[in-house]
A and B are shown apart, each in its own frame.
Chain A
Amino acid sequence: MSERTTDEPTTDEPIRDEPITEEPTAVELTKTAPDTGEEPGGPGRSGRPGAASVPVRRRRSPALVAGCVLVGLIVAVALVSLFWVPYAPDDTTGGRLMSPGLPHLLGTDKLGRDLLTQLMTGARIALEAGLGAIAIGTALGLCAGLAAGFATRWLDDTLSTLLDVLIAFPTLLLAMLMVAARSASLSSAVLAIGFAMTAVVARLTRILVKRVLAQDYITAARTSGTSWPRVITGHVLPNIWPTLVVNLAQQFGLAVMTEASLSFLGLGAPPPNASWGRMLHEAQATVFTAPTGVIAPGVLLVMLVVGVNLIADGLRDALDPTRRRTR
């Protein structure tokens, strides 16, 4: 600015403008020159295609770690209960409604049974219910979903309608029917939860399969003569797996909750098998006099379900290589 005024006294504007406009461009050029010089050497442009050569640091997600710790604790307790519990589950020799103390670490219930013993066996039952339901739901749901995903229009519509009906059918009612047909037992509850889960898993699988089948890489694999079974095991399943596993982990938490509610209603494992749900039911009359009976199973239930959901979140990121890099 100062140069301009000193060089030219104010006269003809358009002509005088020329040397002035040249000056800033010269400055800009010298400014941009080092910039362009930096770019090829810098990590931006040239580094991008080769970015994969830099080993991706597998940052373990905190959610996954926290989830594993929570679920790991419950699993450990369940495993220990297989070999050792402080008292026999049906041992009523302790005083009734004892508060936490020495002979009975967490106290006793209204029948004089040791709470810690019941909690430990309850952990086992909760895990059995979750795993059993997942096994049934995955086995049946995956098959039904794959069938619907590959089926002709007509079969697909029929299957989808059936699945919708099954999803709309209340799990509780299903469990009651199951108990009526068989007997009130853990296996009845697991069967009912498993069937209910089948519908959810099948519907998700169907959608995922349809989406994957529409992808070019499936067509590409088939143009090179890959057979359908190989396309399914090699391309379809690996590509639906990450989403499915996350969903299954969430379903596991849901199954544990459902089992607890069924037991709460007396539709689960009969005594002397202690289920957390039944413990809650039995302790509800004495919430104020002996709160441990309600708090302890409640806390464990929340721990397991939250832990499983945290694992689900962690898995979502860990299983997808395209996501891993963006994090």
Chain B
Amino acid sequence: MNVPDPSMPEPHMPEPQASGTHGPVPHVPDTQIDGKVPEVETPEAKTAEVETPGAVISGAETPEAKVLDVTGLTIRTDQGRALVSDLSFSIAAGSRLGLVGESGSGKSLTALAVLGLLPPGMTASGSVVLRAATDGIGTEVIGATEQRLTGLRGRAATVVFQEPLTALDPLMRIGGQIAEPLRRRRGLRGAALRRAVEESLDQVRLPEPDRIIRAYPHEISGGQRQRVALAMALACEPALLIADEPTTALDVTVQAEVLALLDGLVAQRDMALLFVSHDLAVVSAVTDHVLVLKDGSAVESGSVDDILRRSRHPYTRDLVDSARHLESALERIVR
């Protein structure tokens, strides 16, 4: 442990509470955040011109295999207002990055922009390079054709969303929804497909596979739905899993279970993880590096430890303090 900052009254931090089978695995800290942390004043939102849309960027150019490389990402509404400005970060294969910020800070938009799925009317500029782990060939997402992106999504990266009830098709049985990526990705049919679906359900520890497979999303509980969503994402076997507030919509107890499950499965498959959340405690439990967003621009970035103990930016300190405040308030009640 590093020397605790004397300014912090309690050296006791909200330790990662990823209870369950897989503890917080100390990950290879190879997440490199090369985003220049801007000054407190908002930087001039510079719009980098879109360079070679959909271009194949050879893996040889970058020494390490980065599954995601974002440089100068700016997202604008059709009125020209910048919702995310000049954001830069990268994630190496198998490493984890937390994207923290209050609601409206552009976290989820960033996650969607990575896959080229911005809502209509919004435009992204800058550069987002996704790289499917196996071939090491990077693809520029911004400006790429829909066809190219469709091939890339799922393989290079996929998303687990916040609200599993709306993220699952209400009129399709769970079995069918999990089968879809399996069929596409692994070319499975018939009995083999059925077995693979059962395996995926087993991986996310869902009991009674027969019932779940036949159930509609509204017939299972919230935690079960999020496990299904996780199973669907994992069935894509992505190089990078983007988790957009995956536990926010769940009860606290279920939240811990799902978080532990996510943590374990990602570690087991050596997937990279981009974890988007407003909850610093949750993020610090799962990731090793954190990027703090405020009003669409990066305020601070660094290892979890640095951010928690030696945050330089007042906004980050606010976030840490409020997390700490909640923790100590809970402690007081428990005592």
Interface set of A (CB-CB < 8 Å, partner B): 48-49, 51-53, 215-217, 219-228, 234-235, 238-239, 242, 320-322, 325
Contacts and interface: CB of A to CB of B under 8 A. Distances in A.
B64 interface: no
B155 A49 contact: no
Given A225-B152, A225-B155, A225-B158, A220 B218 contact: no
A239 B232 contact: no
B170 A223 contact: no
B180 interface: yes
A124 B215 CA distance: 42
Given A220-B229, A223-B159, A238 B220 contact: no
Nearest to B169: A217
Interface of A is mostly: helix
B195 interface: no
B219 A51 contact: yes
A235 B166 contact: no
B194 to A, nearest CB: 18
B163 interface: yes
A235 B142 CA distance: 26
A222 B150 CA distance: 7
B153 A223 contact: yes
A220 B168 contact: yes
Given A217-B166, A223-B153, A223-B159, A49 B236 contact: no
A225 B116 CA distance: 11
A151 to B, nearest CB: 11
B169 A224 contact: no
Given A217-B168, A238-B172, A223 B115 contact: yes
Contacts of B168: 217, 220
Most-contacted residue by chain B among A49, A222, A320 (CB, 10 A): A222
Contacts, number: 97
Contacts of A228: 146, 150
B245 to A, nearest CB: 12
Given A49-B220, A235-B172, A224 B117 contact: no
Contacts of B171: 238-239, 242, 320-322
B181 interface: yes
B42 interface: no
A52 B219 contact: yes
A228 B166 CA distance: 19
A225 B181 contact: yes
Contact of A222 (B153, B163, B169, B215): B153
Interface string B123-165: 0000000000000000000000010001111110111010100
Interface string B227-247: 001001101100000100000
A223 B211 contact: no
Given A228-B146, A235-B172, A52 B158 contact: no
Nearest to A321: B216
B236 A224 contact: yes
Contacts of B154: 223-226
B284 interface: no
A255 B210 CA distance: 45
A219 B117 contact: yes
B220 A52 contact: yes
Given A48-B221, A219-B117, 6 more contacts: A219-B167, A223-B154, A224-B233, A227-B150, A228-B146, A235-B169
16 contacts: A48-B221, A52-B216, A53-B211, A217-B167, A217-B169, A217-B170, A223-B117, A223-B242, A225-B150, A225-B151, A225-B185, A226-B181, A228-B146, A239-B170, A239-B171, A325-B218
A214 B278 CA distance: 24
A220 to B, nearest CB: 4
A215 B236 contact: no
B269 interface: no
B112 interface: yes
Contacts of B277: none
B184 interface: yes
B233 A216 contact: no
Contacts of B152: 225
Contacts of A215: 166
Nearest to A212: B169
A217 B171 CA distance: 11
Contacts of A49: 220-221, 224
Nearest to B152: A225
A224 B161 CA distance: 12
Nearest to A319: B171
Contacts of B221: 48-49
A322 B185 CA distance: 30
Contacts of A242: 171
A52 to B, nearest CB: 3
B170 to A, nearest CB: 6
Contact of B180 (A53, A234, A239, A322): A234
A118 B181 CA distance: 57
A216 B208 CA distance: 27
B167 A322 contact: no
A51 B208 CA distance: 13
A216 B117 contact: no
A325 B235 CA distance: 30
B231 to A, nearest CB: 11
A228 B145 CA distance: 13
